[in-house]
Structure 1
């Protein structure tokens, strides 16, 4: 552990130049006392490192010194896919590995490319989480990830739509969608992949059995096919609506017909009358439903109840 941390400290100085003990401690998530000890160890190893006291001081490598300790370990290479995704990496317990991988990759780049990569990292950030949740915590996420990687069958107690079920499954892969983790798995003895939300797993137990993941299974393609199928089956109806100028900003529509009063008329896809009613109620008086009649009646009835409630 200490050897890995000292290498990370050395790579930080190589990639970023002068850094204070506090800055190094923050990056490595240790105390400044630990940084001082690690610096002494580097000195003892003959690394040309010097420090300057004062407000503008810090530690710095002598000009021209570069370490060649930039080879990736097997776990660091595995963590490459999560580079740039700090939230998911933390949920999977891979924060330190991803940080070490980033440092080694930066150290291996020529100076001009390294500076460009650092500039891009400072200007663009990918946040895969949802606005209204703090991720998708699950006590079983790490165990599911391990089962996926090691190709081990697990038995899960799962909360479905209508009831709780118990399944022995072979997990093929994990997917992060909209801040939520899903595991694509096949029931033991089956062939059709099924998607389970990891946060709905109430209990998980290893069976001690392994399985062989199909060589031709493409997780990304499977997931995209699932998304396409889901969307195709989602919007099975249509509604004809009118939108005010404010409504148009809140709910953009395709191919609108413009009215003389600034409103527009358009046809939109809907999942169901119930879903469309809830969706369009958010626009209040900025939308008028023209068809179908049952959706118009549902909104009118809801409006009357609201008026009576707040009268």
Structure 2
């Protein structure tokens, strides 16, 4: 038999068709349930839902299904209380049938049959009643996905920062341990934020070209000058290794790097790590600011 879909029919709460003198037909069969029952043709009521949603009513009439239904007929409908879950949702039978072929296979395309399925099963299964709901759900899904992606990116950034901070801490501890093993009395270096800023500039540069020579073809000293400073003693070591332990090994195998690390003339360091690249700037002696030209 050829299926004919009805034109869009929207269902609202059954209270719209009720009058004060409505018959209490079919109520004898009404039982508390997690889904609405058809208490009379086209009129649905879920006593369990009504009781759960209206504790003030329960305090007055109790939980008897008949008493709850009678309260809704006499007062609840006019007060805007819902008789069952989904009773305030516009139902589009054509949309519901088109998007739920398994339901059509089970109950057919009759509008009331589709609506009964929705309020007794579909709404609990997450099925959507109309196109507007679908659009809203799609928007919410997109927003949820976007938020999840943002949260994941935030976690990655936080983890990256934490890992890079731990990397820098490992390098700093190694430098002082190497100096402790080499010299007596112990000659510990301090970390300086002003030097870290210089190291951060350099760590970006060595990702382009891994060298003590900067992209502008000057040496690392000019990075210190860029911050309007110069020191009596200045040094730099660099490494590229995902693990700080590997960076440390590379320095141990580099006599020039170890000479800089162990040299007591250096009193402060700035350390920067990014994407596995590491730069340590060393300074010692007197610091002087570079005066900028007026012209």
- TM-score class, shorter: under 0.3
Higher helix fraction: Structure 1 or Structure 2? 2
Q: TM-score, normalised by structure 2?
A: 0.19
Higher strand fraction: Structure 1 or Structure 2? 1
- Computing the radius of gyration from Cα coordinates, the structure with the larger value is 2
